[in-house]
A and B are shown apart, each in its own frame.
Chain A
Amino acid sequence: MIEPVCCVADRRREKVHQNIKMDLSWKVKDVQMRAVINQKLIETGEKERLKELLRNKLIECGWRDQLKAHCKDVVRRKGIEHVTVDDLVAELTPKGRELVPDDVKKELLQRIKAFLAQQASI
């Protein structure tokens, strides 16, 4: 027997819907997960330590100086009277992200992974 096309289409639609549903529930889970992790990071003080680590690393590798120089350029170009923090954020964010050295990202990621592993084992 050959299945009617409409049934196949229905099944397909069903499947797509299922997938979307799964995807949605995964997203919800992701949000919940992020909230839990964030809470743990703050509670244990790990977040502050990571921030300090990142700050130090960025200073050490010259990132901070580079960004500061760039900030000064923007302020000089626009004039101190005509620049807001939002302007600076808008101009500097892409540059700032791009300039973070890979090994700094890697080190931080490792620290976060290690933290999560340790939390999971508790």
Chain B
Amino acid sequence: MSFLTLKFPRIAGRIELENCISRPTMSLSGCPHVANFKAVNGSSPYRLILTYFVSCSTQAAVKRKAQSCLCHVCGQLDLRLHSCLYCVFFGCYTAGHIHDHAKATKHNLAVDLTYGAVYCYSCGDYVYDQEFEAIAKEEKTKAAKFVGTPCSVHAFLSWEVTASEAQLLRQNPKRRKITSNSTIGLRGLINLGNTCFMNCIVQALTHTPLLRDFFLADKHHCQMASSDQCLVCEMSRVFQEFYSGLRSVHIPYRLLHLVWTHARHLAGYEQQDAHEFFIAALDVLHRHCKGHNGVSGNNPHLCNCIIDQIFTGGLQSDVTCQSCRGISTTVDPFWDISLDLGPSGSHSKSTLSSSSTSSAPIPNADLSVDSNSSGSSTSSGSVNNGDSGLLSPTGFEDVPTSLDDCLRRFTRPEHLGTNSKIKCSRCHSYQESTKQLTMKKLPLVACFHLKRFEHSNRFRKKISTFIAFPHELDMTPYVSSHRRANGIKNQSHSSTLLSTSDNKYSLFAVVNHHGTIETGHYTCYVRQHKDQWFKCDDALITKSSVQDVLHSEGYLLFYHKRILEYE
């Protein structure tokens, strides 16, 4: 399409003018010819051309631009049209018509009508005059407001160096370029006595792309009374250590000490559970982001700290009364999803339990009863059909063998049984009901905890069955709107409602437990440079492959969203 040529102007032959003296360097000082022009005419001709033909901010200007933006020689409109700054003659750059005009009239300055840049024929290149640049910026902002472009990524990437940053850059002249074989970001961690459970979580966290970006961009502004009590500050230091380029082993004793002080139940030199440590670490980090030390009472769902921005998702629970079909819906925040591996129906009562009890700061969230709002989905007695359709699909009825099995089981409707009747808010009586969990809000980083450790009063054992997990995961089937629509009606119409690409995830870290429940060891696979995998075994880091990762047992699986939406 011709439109693309706007972005990629074609090659233009350079013309040599007799008075072409020197090649300019690209700086903001402009050139003497622009200075001469401004001395005689001021900068208003430039601004006029911009407002009428480059960055329009009135309907009249837009109309004029639409009608008059074509070459006065050949009538073409997309050969890098330029306007003479002196006499507003329009000519193509690519076909040389503006060059001809400059040569014939000695009008040596022309404005590019796509971007507003100024070309000087005497200098033989575009020139950058500070005052013109400022005008261009101003008019561009006005025009953007007028057009109302909904969301621009520019807000997310314009980094204008401040004086202090410039100073820092000057003081630290050493630059590092990350190449595809660079090992920056990889560092072994000393085991401080059964602390491999912590080391593998530190490895997973330091390889969480969004968390890395946050810390390396120095975004943490400490809210704690003293910064050496702040776990976020410590994480910040750990990131500095990891990405310093040093290859020696790092000793995370300060981190361990801080976690011990702030999550007392983890203190001591026994082997701890990596999952428990992960949740505890997130909780302390979340509290310290907000600057408080004690137990956080606030609802992490509404928190905008970096931890909640990255890890918090919303789990919807729909309880359907079997008598009146009324559905009461609650949404609870979660940081991870614990998945049962044993045979279904054994003792896997509430699948949410593990995550809600271990992630302590979660009170019940916004409880809303929408018995009639979701009228379309509660229609007639079809819920039952949908239920039974989901309850007895083939294969995973007894033991799940893949992450998808686990997630399907996690999100299918479950009969709460005759012993646990719930008071229905619609028909106001105690009734049997079914409960279904679905993903109301997907987190940016999804952490899946495969419940390999079974604890009961009488025994503790480890489930070592192989659970296949994918490299790329699509969460669409488990999203509330999709799952419920599918459970109730046939699959066809619901899938068109949402674009599936938004729910795709990539695997970036896997924590493994080796050995038995009594004597075990943790290691972690982390991803670098999009597709390289490394195995972190405390101080030892070895190159690995995605096959190794996918064939490993898997205890904690970390996925990150492939596409991030703008806020």
Residues in chain A within 8 A of chain B (CB atoms):
31, 34-35, 38-43, 45, 47-52, 54-56, 58-60, 80-82, 84-86, 89-90, 93, 96-97, 100, 105, 108-109, 112
Contacts and interface: CB of A to CB of B under 8 A. Distances in A.
B143 A48 contact: yes
Contact of A42 (B9, B25, B26, B66): B66
A60 B501 CA distance: 15
Nearest to A58: B7
B7 A54 contact: yes
A108 B3 CA distance: 10
A49 B77 contact: no
Nearest to A91: B11
A100 to B, nearest CB: 8
Given A80-B25, A81-B23, 10 more contacts: A42-B62, A42-B66, A45-B147, A55-B152, A59-B153, A84-B126, A86-B125, A100-B4, A105-B4, A109-B1
B11 A90 contact: yes
Which 3 pairs from chain A and chain B are nearest by CB?
A42-B66, A84-B125, A52-B149
B77 A35 contact: yes
A89 B9 contact: yes
B8 A93 contact: yes
B129 to A, nearest CB: 15
A15 to B, nearest CB: 30
A96 B25 contact: no
A115 to B, nearest CB: 11
A43 B70 contact: no
B23 A82 contact: yes
Contact of B66 (A39, A50, A60, A112): A39
Contacts of A81: 23, 25
Given A89-B11, A97-B8, A112-B3, A43 B25 contact: no
20 contacts: A38-B2, A41-B3, A42-B66, A42-B69, A45-B147, A48-B143, A52-B147, A52-B149, A55-B152, A80-B26, A84-B14, A84-B124, A85-B126, A86-B11, A86-B14, A86-B125, A89-B12, A93-B11, A108-B3, A112-B3
A21 to B, nearest CB: 21
Interface of B: 1-4, 6-12, 14, 23, 25-26, 62-63, 65-67, 69-70, 75, 77-78, 117, 124-126, 143, 147, 149, 151-153, 157
Contact of B1 (A56, A84, A112): A112
A58 B12 CA distance: 24
A112 B4 CA distance: 12
Contacts of B151: 56
Nearest to B151: A56
